Amino acid sequence: MELIKSLPDIYDEFSEQRRNSFMAAFEIKEKNIPFVGTFCCYTPNEIIMAAGAVPVSLCSTSDETIPDAEQDLPRNLCPLVKSSYGFAKTQKCPYFYFADLIIGETTCDGKKKMYEMLADLKDVYCMELPNRQSLMGRKLWREEVVALKNKLEEKFDVEITEEKIREQVRIMNKNRLALRRFYELMKLDPPPMAGFDLYSVLYGSNFKFNRLEAIKEVGALTDRIEKEYNEGNRPIPKRPRILVTGCPIGGAAMKVVKAIEDNGGNVVCYENCGGAKSVDELINEEAEDIYQAIADRYLNLGCSVMTPDDNRFKLMGRLLEEYKIDAVVEVVLQACHTYNVESYSIKKFVNDHGLPYMSVETDYSTSDVGQLNTRCAAFIEML
């Protein structure tokens, strides 16, 4: 008889999912199912899946291969860009090795130029992402979604029908709803889990390649947490409720979340990529023009590469209210100029809501862990 795993064990499994899925990826490749590597949440995964391919995130969040990357890239470049390139260059990322095609977008300047260099290593297709969520921007992005479909059809010698696309839209909407229901558990006070564990599930679920199984697993986990919480299992004490925003985190950058929670705060909400931003909005399944519906949903994502970035502020304002936030911590990766510049406006926005704000500029090294602990302890003590 199989023993029922404890919640901590389940969180650990999700935390290690990226690593544990390497063998699953190998088995998928053995069946001649193509992999498509992606770097950004603007990538329309539904089109990739409709081609019969498996999308997998290639962003790397470790400093392990940065020295290798810096042989080709500037030292004063965003660590996410350097890490991603380094893992590709050294072939230390199995997902890059398995990828039959890499899809990039014209988001930040560092990524755009890095994609040109990646093209020497793999087949890279770069989508032209407009930096304005305007009428013309939406028209352009729709054409880019259609162009991606055409590229995938040519690359994998398949026909991507509208029926196939609509089927994947329905599946991905269910996936978003399952993840949204899971992270909305953090509206409870005290929260039912640590913010570190929350992100482990959100991030790890991306590496469960069978989406329907992933939806079931996340749903079952949500049911279990809710049940145990209602039965009185409340392992997290009431403490200041923190929203984390800014650059993509995960991996080494989770040292900021650890510093917050080790020093008296509860991270109850992530506005970053991989958090609420990535699953907040659904695609209109009934839209007559499914390509425009996909384009609109993805282009609506609030990111500092957009100008103006109204949707980021709109979502954050709602999250501050819904999660009863006590303070905001923004994580800015070194040399990420768009988030660094926009942090001024975010601070003003948060302060105008009557809440304290702290910005943390960091990279993927461990050299600033002591400083992070000191700053987070002082910030939370002030609350």
Q: What is the DSSP string of 79-92?
A: HHHHHHHHHHHHT-
pLDDT attached to residue 326: 98
Residue 165, both tokens = 């696309």
Main-chain phi, psi angles of 304, to 5 degrees? -65, -10
Q: Tokens 């002030």 appear where? A: 382
- Domains identified in the chain and CATH numbers: 7-162 (3.40.50.11890)
Closest CA to 264 of 368, 379, 371: 379
Q: Is the distance from CB of 86 to CB of 68 less than 8 angstroms?
A: yes
pLDDT in tens, 203-244: 999 899 999 999 999 999 999 999 999 999 999 999 999 999
* Residues 287, 289: Cα–Cα separation, whole Å: 5
pLDDT attached to residue 2: 43
* Residues 357, 347: Cα–Cα separation, whole Å: 6
pLDDT in tens, 173-204: 999 999 999 999 999 999 999 999 999 999 99
* Residues 145, 27: Cα–Cα separation, whole Å: 29
* Residues 346, 313: Cα–Cα separation, whole Å: 8
- Asked whether residue 344 carries a pLDDT value surpassing 90, the answer given is yes
Query: Residue length, the chain?
Result: 383
Main-chain phi, psi angles of 333, to 5 degrees? -75, 140
Amino acid at 27: E
- Asked whether residue 4 carries a pLDDT value surpassing 80, the answer given is no
* Residues 240, 67: Cα–Cα separation, whole Å: 38
- Asked whether residue 3 carries a pLDDT value surpassing 60, the answer given is no
pTM of the entire predicted model: 0.95
Residues of the chain with pLDDT > 70, as a percent, come to 99
pLDDT in tens, 268-282: 999 999 899 999 999
pLDDT in tens, 277-332: 999 999 999 999 999 999 999 999 999 999 999 999 999 999 999 999 999 999 99
Main-chain phi, psi angles of 365, to 5 degrees? -85, 170
pLDDT attached to residue 20: 84
Question: Sorting pLDDT into bands at 50, 70 and 90, what band is 266?
Answer: very high
Question: Sorting pLDDT into bands at 50, 70 and 90, what band is 1?
Answer: very low
pLDDT attached to residue 49: 98
pLDDT in tens, 43-63: 999 999 999 999 999 978 899
Helix (H) or strand (E) holding 151: helix 135-156
Q: Is the distance from CB of 47 to CB of 152 less than 8 angstroms?
A: yes
